[in-house]
Homo-oligomer: A and B are copies of this chain.
Amino acid sequence: MTAIKPSSTRQENRQTAIAACPVSFVMDKIGGNWKPVILFQMMSGAKRYSEIKKAIPTITEKVLIQHLKQLQDDGLVLRKALDVVPPHVEYRLSKSGQALTPVLNAMAAWAFEHREFGGRKASR
């Protein structure tokens, strides 16, 4: 629910970029520090909330849930609350979420081919 102030130049520029540039559009969906990592977790199948949390120890619960919600709103992941005895929640990739796999693979391939990935540290 992170409040936004839609009448800022920043926001306007962002919206126009997203509207005009498909790459920006994708960035908007899977960008950020954590979304790729979260998505990756779910690429190996449905995961429980607590499983994801455990798999990414440094993420805070606030941010994790926030991102999971955005991913749901964007239709990339599906949430299913299981009505078993200790009730728990499962997250998994939707159809379009799974369709991102080749995109993510293309990125990963580039990362490995170029710029000695794993070596030298990032600049910013």
Contact = CB atoms under 8 A, between A and B. Distances in A.
Nearest to A110: B103
Given A111-B26, A114-B96, A122-B15, A37 B21 contact: yes
Interface stretch (A27-35, A44-52, A84-92): A27-35
A38 B74 CA distance: 25
Interface of A: 2, 4, 12-34, 36-37, 39-40, 58-59, 70, 73-75, 96, 99-100, 102-104, 106-108, 110-115, 117-118, 121-124
26 contacts: A14-B33, A15-B122, A18-B122, A19-B121, A21-B36, A21-B37, A21-B40, A22-B108, A22-B112, A22-B117, A23-B30, A23-B40, A23-B104, A24-B33, A25-B115, A25-B122, A28-B124, A29-B115, A31-B31, A70-B123, A70-B124, A75-B115, A96-B110, A96-B115, A99-B110, A100-B110
